[in-house]
Amino acid sequence: MAFSWRCSESQRFSKVACNIALVGLVGGLSTVFLICIISFSNYVDSKTGPQTEPLLLYLDSFSVSNFHIFRSSFSAQWQAQLTFQNRNDNLKIVFRGFKIFVHRKDSEALTCAVVEDMEIDSKKHKTVRIGFDTRRSCGLENAVNQNEVVKELEEDVKSSSLGFSLRMKIPAFYRMRLLGLGTTVVLSPFCPDLKVVFVAVKGVGNMVGGRNCSIPAPKL
């Protein structure tokens, strides 16, 4: 009887020890796997995250045509040419469709245009021409305060120059060229203080020269 009891106790002890060892093994493997996932995620972020700042934006040209001021309203058409440059060696930048807005100082958007999806390969650039028209609302929720803007425009027209700015909200994906993994960001490019000078032809004005636009650190 005593021998049988010792054998039974020994078997129970071995079973408990095996269970403890199994739990320890699973826990250890899970920890190693988690560390690998975190390390890999950090690696991907270091190559595709906002800190890489792969994108440059240059405003090649900005112009206004058919510009007319009426008693309490105005009409105009704007055109812009933008060059997006990807300066990273290992990333492809994917833009989802986005809107670009024309602002007058700190007022609400005067008009906007829709830019379609596009991709920019590593060390490449893409130039897009954009047309704006106040007769197309482009989804603007609120009408701009025409009376206030018209007063400002009337004053500035006397000096033969007008000031505008361009704002954008771009959903983008920084994708690693080899693995296809990456980071999703929201870019907010801003082209301020665009001085359009009117000369010779009435109602037609152009920005003199081109300029770089700022791209604040993107929001994840």
The pLDDT of residue 50: 56
Residues 6+ apart with CB under 8 A from 80: 59, 61, 62, 63, 100, 129, 130, 132, 166
Which is nearest to 134 in space by CA: 159, 113, 114? Answer: 113
Please state, as a whole number, how many other Cβ atoms lie within 10 Å of the Cβ of residue 187. 21
Which is nearest to 86 in space by CA: 49, 48, 110, 55? Answer: 55
Which is nearest to 153 in space by CA: 70, 61, 65, 63? Answer: 70
Which is nearest to 111 in space by CA: 84, 131, 83? Answer: 131
Given a cut of 50, the residues of the chain with pLDDT beneath it are: 3, 5, 33-45
Three-state SS at 75: strand
The pLDDT of residue 188: 93
The pLDDT of residue 71: 72
The pLDDT of residue 18: 64
Kind plus residue range of the DSSP H or E element containing 195? strand 190-198
* pLDDT tens readout for residues 144-189: 556 677 777 777 777 778 888 999 999 999 888 766 678 889 999 9
pTM summary value: 0.73
End-to-end CA separation in angstroms for the chain: 70
**Rounded CA separation 153/161 (Å):** 9
The pLDDT of residue 68: 79
Which is nearest to 50 in space by CA: 169, 183, 176, 181? Answer: 183
